[in-house]
Amino acid sequence: MAYYKKIVGEKCYLSPCSLGDAEKWVEWFNDLEVTLPLGDEAYTPFSLPKTEESIEYIIKQQDHVFSIVDLESDICIGRTLLFNIDHINRQAMFGIFIGEKLFWGKGYGQEATRLTIDYGFNLLNLNSIMLGVMAFNERAVHAYEKVGFKLIGRRRQARIVGGQKFDVFLMDILAEEFDGTLLKKYARG
């Protein structure tokens, strides 16, 4: 599978997603260990034909969805995206997951988050990027805080899983709070 280095970090790079990613997405989205911390994905069975259809739509619409690819091995390890983009108010929602468990806890999620946020602020000219994260997903909350996201609210008992009720944290980051050094190297002047 050919990937394209749209935005490159030290550990990983972001590549436009491709139809060849479908089998991996199906594997990851049907793995509860991957999807329970995400939310809605855990409740939905994913098939290969439906996932291929979704990826074809993403490609056709030129949505801001990227494969996260390990820089050393060129293995696709996850997905990141900006969605619900509002160009008038210059804001968007952010989502990410690392599906390949061998890459968990090694800083890939944090770096891919930073790359996506840099893309949003410095290429899409956004001013505010927000996310929702399950309160029990402490690893993700910590990674988001290291990138610069701040807690702005809590939806109490917003998710019920296995009879247990969980809060969802709302976090955001503003362009002025983010040091987007990655894309500055391409700017002239």
Is 144 a known active-site residue? yes
Strand 91-98 and strand 128-134: the pairing is: parallel
- Given the residues 4, 108, 144, 186, the one annotated as active site: 144
Active site residues: 144
